[in-house]
Chains A and B, each alone.
Chain A
């Protein structure tokens, strides 16, 4: 295959104290694709993501992001890598002491020399993409859970990063909002060629956006492949997950 890999993981193990959370994880995510990481609650998805973000030290195994091997990366190189990716955290992780606009503007103000007004315009437009323009002057403590998530997404994509990591962006959104979020993610992929690695539980969302699925089951990769492979899989955990859907329903959503 000559497709470019944006994320590559080989034989990754991870443990907290004595409990193993990830064992022998290997998978790849490709440029310009949406890779969905799936799995039950507590199966280690967030832990895996944090390893890819360099927030956890890799003890055993290898992982590389945008062609850079994460172990043995110098600090400057890691920072350079951070400039090329956007991250959406499961909890939102907005800074409480800053307003919504300041939160979203933070990377722009820190990393570019754009005029103040233009920064505000960009922030406004990005908030518009997630339907949150009305929150421009509000503070995170004044927002609902789903609103926080949308603002956090706006912050993650504010610099048009080539690689976007999302930890359950859709959780807590109503179905209509979720659909427009998926449309936005598809647009980012199609128009900007953004590569996206996304954790999600929502089956309808997966059917709409996933190019590739990595299914984690109790810390192991149960399945890696495209949507059809996943739907036809015999693995009990995978079957259980997709079995919820009737086949006609799948057809319908896939159009």
Chain B
């Protein structure tokens, strides 16, 4: 009792059901040592015993009435911690039931965490590049080839098609998207005309607002707005649906039943998207141009009659073809990207959300890229 450090810590500890008393190098533990007491017991003992640096510590348990797994582990933890400070510990006096539990809950060997290998920056970049070509690009192309093949085959093969699935998907992907496509196209058409109105008036070129709205919509805005909306709505739901089927082993079940998932799940969606997309684009064009005409009427005094009259001169068959080609390319890209990421899902339910997001982002990126390339080709 000469050590002055000792003053800071009482030599007795009492909390919840446990009472500890340090007497020389014997620690009397009595009462209960369970989940409720373990944390306090461990902290107090370490704080009290460590500064004293005794050669050995006897943990005297004769007063201990109850111990659970946390208690047993707390004792082992103490022995381990004190052992590192060269303090030998000894357990004595535990009743039979206490010893039984100590045996039942004997601590296991601590597993070493497997070291993760960290590659250097160049190696990593090279690896990613390799992965992009070998896994993503190849995978995407193979999927595209496979789906095109089955899409063509099933076109002439009525019997192997899933009954009703095409109509079902056409409603989901096409019809249900119509309202939002119409509404947004109208608003954007209106705003485009509105903003150009100010500029055109300066040059006295009011009537060219018709050219502007019609050409931009027919060849660019209509297909693009439609594709972005469909990518957001259906690209994500295709990815989520396929990913969920993957996670819940539904795809495995299909395969073992002798059904090709590409053919069974993806092809109907591809048909539906390719067929409904042109109609959606027509809707987008009509409502966008209507919006533009409305703004022209309100801000530039161009009546609907004049607008339509002028439009007849502006409209070209080429713009219609452009729209049609774009619709087919976009539809293919959206369905392919959605299903590609859906099939790539990893790690259970949480992965589904991840691939869904990726699918939408990639689909929209691809759509915009394709739009630019086609724009240059059809210029």
Q: Is there contact, CB below 8 Å, between A191 and B101?
A: yes
Q: Is B38 an interface residue (CB 8 A)?
A: yes
Contact with A along B37-51 (1 / 0, CB 8 A): 011101100000000
Indicate whether A122 sits within 8 Å of B73 (C-beta atoms), given known contacts A112-B38, A140-B348, A160-B34: yes
Considering the complex, give the chain A residue whose CB is closest to the CB of B68: A160
Cα(A159)–Cα(B348), bound, Å: 27
Tell me which residues from 115 to 152 in chain A have a Cβ below 8 Å from any Cβ of chain B. 115, 117-118, 120-122, 124-129, 133-134, 136-137, 139-141
Q: How far is the CB of B258 from chain A (nearest CB, A)?
A: 25
Please name all residues of chain A whose beta carbon is closer than 8 Å to the beta carbon of B306 when the two chains form the complex: none
Report the Cα distance A96→B74, complex, angstroms: 29
Nearest residue (CB) in A for B349 is A96
Please give, as numbers and ranges, the residues of chain B lying within 8 Å of A117 by CB-CB distance.
Answer: 77
Q: Kindly identify which residue among B69, B76, B113 contacts A160, using a CB–CB cutoff of 8 Å.
A: B69
Q: How many A-B residue pairs have CB under 8 A?
A: 84
B11-51 interface (Cβ within 8 A of A): 34-35, 38-40, 42-43
State the CA gap A168–B38 with chains docked (Å).
Answer: 32
Is the beta-carbon distance between A160 and B70 smaller than 8 angstroms? yes
Question: Which residues of chain B are within 8 angstroms of A126 by Cβ–Cβ distance?
Answer: 69
- Classify the secondary structure of B's interface with A: helix
On whether the beta carbons of B35 and A160 are closer than 8 Å, the reply is yes
**What CA separation (Å) do A96 and B350 show in the bound complex?**
7
* Whole-angstrom CA separation of A118 from B111 in the bound complex: 14
Q: Which residues does chain A contribute within 8 Å of B108, judged by CB atoms?
A: 124-125, 127-128, 133
Q: Decide if B107 touches A125 in the complex (CB within 8 Å).
A: yes
Residue on B with the closest CB to A94?
Answer: B348
B256 located at the interface, meaning its Cβ lies under 8 Å from any Cβ of chain A in the complex:
no
Interface string of B165-203 (1 = CB under 8 A from A): 000000000000000000000000000000000000000
What separation, in Å, do the CA atoms of A189 and B35 have in the docked complex?
A: 18
Q: A133-B111, A140-B348, A191-B97 are in contact. Are A121 and B73 (CB under 8 A)?
A: yes
Determine if B347 and A137 form an interchain contact, defined as CB atoms under 8 angstroms apart: no
Given A118-B42, A121-B73 in contact, is the A97-B350 Cβ separation under 8 Å?
Answer: yes
Instruction: Check if A192 is an interface residue, CB within 8 A of chain B.
Output: yes
The answer, yes or no, to whether A74 is at the interface (CB within 8 Å) is: no
**In the complex the two chains form, is B76's CB within 8 Å of A121's CB?**
yes
List of B residues within 8 angstroms of A192 by Cβ: 68, 101
A125 to B73, CA, bound (A): 8
**B residues near A139, Cβ cutoff 8 Å:** 347
Interface string of B324-364 (1 = CB under 8 A from A): 00000000000000000000001111100000000000000
Task: Check B135 for interface membership: any CB of A closer than 8 A.
Answer: no
Separation in Å of the B117 CB from the closest CB of chain A? 15
Contact A112 B39 (CB under 8 A): yes
Q: A121-B110, A124-B110 are in contact. Are A141 and B347 (CB under 8 A)?
A: yes
Q: Does B109 interact with chain A (Cβ within 8 Å)?
A: yes
Asked whether B124 is an interface residue with its Cβ less than 8 Å from the other chain, the reply is no
- Complex alpha-carbon distance, A100 and B364, angstroms: 37
Contact A121 B77 (CB under 8 A): yes
- Chain A residues with Cβ below 8 Å from B107 are 121, 124-125, 128
Cβ-based interface call for B106 (8 A): yes
Distance of A63 from chain B, by nearest CB (Å):
27
Q: Is the CB of B100 within 8 A of A191?
A: yes
B120 on the interface (CB 8 Å rule)?
A: no
From residue A183, how far is it (CB to closest CB) to chain B in Å? 10
B348 touches A96 (CB 8 A): yes
Q: Is B114's CB within 8 Å of the partner chain A?
A: yes
Interchain CA distance A115-B108 in the complex, whole Å:
18
A67-102 CB mask vs B (1 if < 8 Å, else 0) is 000000000000000000000000000001100000
Assess whether A191 is in contact with B73, with CB atoms less than 8 Å apart. Answer: no
Per-residue CB contact flags for chain B residues 92-110 toward chain A (1 = under 8 Å, else 0) read: 0000010011001111111
Contact B109 A133 (CB under 8 A): yes
The 8 Å CB contact of A122, one of B69, B100, B346, is B69
B349 touches A134 (CB 8 A): no
Which of these, B39, B97, B114, B347, contacts A114 with CB under 8 Å? B39
Residue of B nearest to A142 (CB): B347
Q: How far is the CA of A226 from the CA of B134 in the complex (A)?
A: 63
Q: Tell me the chain B residues, 246-290 only, with Cβ under 8 Å from chain A.
A: none
Contact B77 A125 (CB under 8 A): no
- Contacts A125-B106, A128-B107 aside, 9 further interface pairs with beta carbons under 8 A come to A96-B348, A112-B35, A113-B40, A114-B70, A121-B76, A134-B111, A136-B111, A158-B69, A160-B34
Can you name 6 A-B residue pairings with CB atoms under 8 Å?
A: A113-B40, A114-B42, A121-B73, A122-B70, A124-B108, A192-B101
6 nearest CB pairs, A to B: A128-B108, A96-B348, A113-B39, A160-B68, A136-B111, A124-B108
